[in-house]
Amino acid sequence: MRIAFLGKGGAGKTTTAAGFIRYMSKRHPFVLAVDADVNAHLKGALHADGLEDAAYELGEVRGEIIEYLKGNRTDLVGRDMVGTTPPSLQSNFITVSPSDPIIAKYSRTSGDGKISLLTVGTYKESDVGGACYHVKLSGLQAFFHHLLDGEEDIVIADTTAGTDNVATSLSIAYDINVFVVEPTRKSLQVYLDFLTVAPHLADKTYVIANKVDSPEDELFILKHVAREKLLGLVPQSRHLKRFEQGKKEALEDFMHEQEPVFARVLETLQSKPRNWDHYLASLRSTHTKVCRDWLDEYYGLRLDENLDEEFSYPKAIARTQRANVGGKQLVAV
């Protein structure tokens, strides 16, 4: 299962994603965390031993990742694979495990082995004036579209501010989107704008009201957010400030304030099992759209034609399970 935290700049996406990662890592054997923000702050917010070292940045190694995921596929016949290319049965896939080859190589794992963190990374000097973050995100798109996570797996992503998620195939990658919203008009507007441009994502989009410190704040949120969409309210916490002032024990106090909301987030995530066939259909139509919009012209080729039509995620899952039983790595068979 995959969840993304979205919202306006400064609303508390990273704080909330880090809190939910900690919450889940206390209840679950392993959590895969993804920092998909151009300003990567998740590592700092997790305060977990072992994550301090610099990790690979997926944005920098996207070519390597895509090459690995390509596996032995023959349907591309010399054409490039891009972030939205749907997999083939000959692709390599990824599982949510610290020993998965991609996760082991490109993430950092906490000292207790419970959290692995993947980071897309930020701009480099060489990007100034010319790079687009969506290009950096293409490795992460391919990663998600080849990730065979089950209902028992937990993947939690922190994202860029605003409604950017709708502009890439990451919009279909997550089982639920949770907007972190402050009780202000500007913060709410980002959520409302998202629903306006992506009404098809409304069903899997929810809200956490953050930094709420009065009944008026709650009323303000409820004026604009349907009650069933509101997963809970997190107070404007004095504990977080105490923690940031150096009082280590204050992080636990803040966690207690977040816990009832996180219980609701988990319940909501569990109520949305993925339909892999819908996922594949959305991926195929998204890929065709980006091909027609610009990729075909850029490459001078039709990139979405003659791809493996036999492919289905349940078939890929069955194959990798068989390979796993044989004690082999989860690579193309």
Residues lying near Mg ion in the complex (CB under 5 A) are found at 13-14, 41
**Which CB atom, from 259 or from 296, has the smaller least distance to ligand ATP?**
259
Work out whether 9 is an interface residue with ligand ATP (CB under 6 A).
yes
Interacting span for ligand ATP (CB under 6 A) from 25-33, 221-229, 236-244, 302-310: 236-244
Residues 146-165 that bind ligand ATP (CB under 6 A): 161
Query: Least distance (Å) from ligand ATP to the CB of residue 254?
Result: 8
Q: Is 211 in the site for ligand ATP (CB under 6 A)?
A: yes
Question: Is 35 one of the binding residues for ligand ATP (CB under 6 A)?
Answer: no
What tokens were used for 128?
A: 């100034």
Is 121 an interacting residue with respect to ligand ATP (CB under 6 A)?
no
The least CB distance from residue 235 to ligand ATP, in Å, is: 6
Copy the structure tokens of residue 306: 């003659």
Name the closest residue to Mg ion (Cβ).
14
Q: Which of 97, 122, 189, 236 binds ligand ATP (CB under 6 A)?
A: 236
Q: Edge-to-edge, what's the strand order for the sheet holding 230-235?
A: 108-109, 115-119, 31-36, 155-159, 2-7, 176-181, 205-212, 230-235
Tell me which of 13, 22, 108, 146 binds ligand ATP, using CB under 6 A: 13
Residues binding ligand ATP: what is the number (CB under 6 A)?
18
- Burial code of 258-288, b = ≥16 C-beta within 10 A, e = fewer? beebbeebbebbeebeeeeeebbebbbebbb
The answer to whether 12 contacts ligand ATP (rule: CB under 6 A) is: yes
Please state the closest distance from residue 52 (CB atom) to ligand ATP, in A: 18
Q: Are strands 176-181 and 2-7 parallel, antiparallel or unpaired?
A: parallel
Chain residues binding ligand ATP by CB under 6 A are 7, 9-15, 37, 39, 41, 161, 210-211, 234, 236-237, 240
